[in-house]
Amino acid sequence: MGKYENLAKEIVKNVGGKENIISLVHCITRLRFQLKDEGKANDDAVKNMDGVVTLMKSGGQYQVVIGNHVSDVFADVCTIADIKQESNNQPQGKKKKSVGGILLDYMSAIMNPIMGILCGVGILKGLLAILTITGILTESDGIYMLLYAASDSLFYFFPIFFGYTAAVKFNMTPLLGATIGAAMVYPAIQGLEDFSVFGIDLSGTSYTSTMIPIILVIMLAAPLERTLKKVIPDVIKTFIAPMLVLLICVPVGFIVIGPIANWISGIVAGALIGVYNISPILCGLLVGASYQVQVVFGIHGGLSVALMLDFLSNGSSALFALVCLPSFAQTAVVLVIWLKTKNQKLKNIALPAWISGIFGITEPAIYGVTLPRIKYFIISCIGAGIGCAYMGLTQVTLYQLTGLGVFSLPMTISPQASSGNLINYIIAIVIAIIVSGVATFILYKDEGNDLQATTNKSNNSSRTINICTPIAGTVIPLSEIKDDAFSQGVLGAGVVIEPKEGKVIAPEDGILMTLFPTNHALGIKMNSGAEILIHIGMDTVQLEGKYFTPKAKQGDTVKKGQVLMEFDLKAIKAAGYSLLTPVIITNTETYADVIETNDQTVSLGDNLIHIILKKEG
């Protein structure tokens, strides 16, 4: 349960209880209930709750306005009311994913639940390696054997764990998936010298420490289980269905699917190893320089899966080691920017960013600091590439899966490996840090918004931010819109625009922090610090994305004038919806004043809102 548990309980109670809730979704600021009987809801109690901005009733929905943290409240309300988020938080009109997107979605869902444990046992393995190298423990010590079992069991019994998580993703009984995985790694049938089934030679076959075979078996077992549950009488299906699934899937998995999957895995791993063998330096340069770019575009999952296969096949991997280094280059760049900038706002962003980067968490550094200043993002990629090229030259190898950042150091330690492996990894880190850090130190200077903020501060004058028009049309005062959440200014100050063309652009450089799945609302955090909500039309969430065409993705860094959304004006109006579009500064309270334009009509790029910053001190 999250931190809004008490608020969630009060909301559920005062909308008439969970029995009165037909469905629940949320948009960018509101919980949108469909209630069986709105007369059972206590409107006054809902309006007066701490944590609730106001209450709206529109379009057959009971709308509880929360604000920017609505997704957190939504999660707690779903838990209290026994609502499945997966089935209620997604609009039915969602876009189809590409085959690659679907594959990465499934692999992430299967792997992510155990990644924290995976890093934890990897670090434990590294500590055990240190203890044996230093002579504190030996492999025959009882405590060593016990702790080694704790650190190695996850890797050895991978199919059990992946069987469980894959079953969850494929809508199958999770414990049945784990049971199939356990059968695949049953010790008595692993690696037998003389083993055959129905005349098929399976000598030497083993599925310990594998991932792909069990996932493919679950893909067969999940629909089979669902079909059996439909046709088997209720009185016996609870035990007959799993029996039949095991009877069919374990032999097919062990005899047919497993060998094919291991063969495919070998080809993939072999191809990567082939590239590495041709030129480990070039391979390191390419992987190191491109990895952070892949992270930004969300395609690094495919590379990680392929590298995982290499590690699982061999128990070590020089390829997987390469992706552990780029975080150090990124962190070095942000540290230098933090030291050099005179912009206090940028310093406040960069400080926690480089601290988290030490531990391998670089998203704050990438999205908050370097991507908006693309030159320094490129510098970090170059530094990472050069450091990884050295790793390829010296063939630095990963022996266990640990965390990233400083937690990656134990990954290169093995009782059988020389200390040179760790030393070369440290040298590669130092190279990446020096190249990235020195280049940033030489080239960095406050520019654009950073320089403007610095200059304004030094002049000790009233600092301002100008927000340009993201959508062309007629300007209407916010107070005149028929929606209390906007008209009363509870979500922030701003204006309303009646669009004359179906296009939304980025008013300034920044990050598209929020793009609701129905595409009717966008939240942008400007590099200046202003947070802007653009809500296209009234109640257009009910269109479920119809007539809206996004031109950017949530999390994208956007440039001033970039088209973010296109929408069909005529079709939306014909569907009976108002196109009045609030443009709101959602963090209004952080500024001294927010002044709207006096112009009655505005074109794209015109000055729309003038923000006056509070004086420091």
Both tokens of residue 8? 């969630």
Residue 27 annotated in active site: yes
The one-letter amino acid at 295: V
Total length of the chain: 617
Per-residue exposure over 364-394, b if at least 16 CB sit within 10 Å of its own CB, e if not: bbbbbbbbbbeebbbbbbbbbbbbbbbbbeb
The one-letter amino acid at 258: G
**Quick check: helix, strand or coil at residue 414?**
coil
**Quick check: helix, strand or coil at residue 512?**
strand
Return all residues near 424 (Cβ < 8 A) that are at least 6 apart.
390, 391, 394, 396
- DSSP annotation string for 334-372: HHHHHHH---HHHHHHHHHHHHHHHTT--HHHIIIIIGG
How far are the Cα atoms of 110, 188, 210, 315, 323 from residue 265, in angstroms, in the given order? 17, 24, 10, 14, 20
Both tokens of residue 300? 């690094």
User: What's 251-274 look like in SS3?
Assistant: HHHHHHHHHHHHHHHHHHHHHHHH
The one-letter amino acid at 267: I
- CA–CA separation, 607 and 470 (whole Å): 10
**Quick check: helix, strand or coil at residue 397?**
coil
Residue with tokens 């992987």: 287
Both tokens of residue 416? 């059988």
Instruction: Considering the candidates 26, 27, 119, 381, report the single residue annotated as catalytic.
Output: 27
Instruction: Considering the candidates 249, 324, 381, 535, report the single residue annotated as catalytic.
Output: 535
User: What's 18-61 look like in SS3?
Assistant: HHHEEEEEECCCEEEEEECCHHHCCHHHHHCCCCCCEEEEECCE
Beta-ladder partners of 87: none
Q: Is 546 buried (19+), middle (13-18) or exposed (0-12) by CB count in 10 A?
A: middle
- CA–CA separation, 566 and 578 (whole Å): 16
Neighbours of 237 (CB within 10 A): 16
Neighbours of 200 (CB within 10 A): 12
Longest dimension (CA), the chain: 87
**Quick check: helix, strand or coil at residue 239?**
helix
- CA–CA separation, 177 and 242 (whole Å): 10
Q: Which of 272, 254, 255, 258 is nearest to 309 (CA)?
A: 272
DSSP single-letter state for residue 398: B
Q: What stretches of 334-486 adopt beta strand conformation (E)?
A: 464-468, 473-477
How far are the Cα atoms of 32, 353, 474, 607 from residue 59, in angstroms, in the given order? 10, 43, 25, 34
Residue 535 annotated in active site: yes
Both tokens of residue 85? 């988020």
| Active centre residues (catalytic) | 27, 535
